Amino acid sequence: NAGVTQTPKFQVLKTGQSMTLQCAQDMNHNSMYWYRQDPGMGLRLIYYSASEGTTDKGEVPNGYNVSRLNKREFSLRLESAAPSQTSVYFCASSETQTLTYEQYFGPGTRLTVT
């Protein structure tokens, strides 16, 4: 039982390049989330998927797109990377039926855009 896994762990991009961050969970959770963490800013929600087939914007969606490929997988795409997207990205999942609101996080992807 791996929980939430993210790939890659580290990535360096040049401005304008594109990439996809992958996330998978094996807990059969309905909801999945993408956050970014920046120094002094806490975790900010980029996009979320309340259930398979649905996605919605969070607090900071500009410059990103997401795909809920199936119940297990939720990917985050940067179409044209910018230095402002240098951050640590966390994927999370939760079981919304239990009403405990607890989210389980992956280990993160550290992205640097030069």
Partner 1 sequence: DQQVKQNSPSLSVQEGRISILNCDYTNSMFDYFLWYKKYPAEGPTFLISISSIKDKNEDGRFTVFLNKSAKHLSLHIVPSQPGDSAVYFCAATHTGTASKLTFGTGTRLQVTL
Residues of the shown chain interacting with partner 1 in the complex, contacts defined by CB under 8 A: 4, 31, 33, 35, 40-45, 48, 50, 56, 58, 90, 92, 94, 96, 99-108
- In whole angstroms, the minimum distance from the beta carbon of 80 to partner 1 comes to 27
| DSSP code of residue 62 | T
Report the distance separating Cα 86 and Cα 91, nearest Å: 16
CA distance 48 to 61: 10
Residue with smaller CB distance to partner 1, 56 or 79: 56
Closest distance between partner 1 and the C-beta of residue 100, in Å? 7
Report the residue count for the chain.
Answer: 114
Q: Considering the complex, what minimum distance in angstroms separates the CB of residue 94 from partner 1?
A: 5
Residues 77, 80: Cα–Cα separation, whole Å: 9
CB of 105 to partner 1, least distance (A): 3
Q: How are the residues of the chain apportioned to helix, strand and coil, as percentages rounded to the nearest 5? A: 5, 50, 45
Nearer to partner 1, 62 or 98 (CB): 98
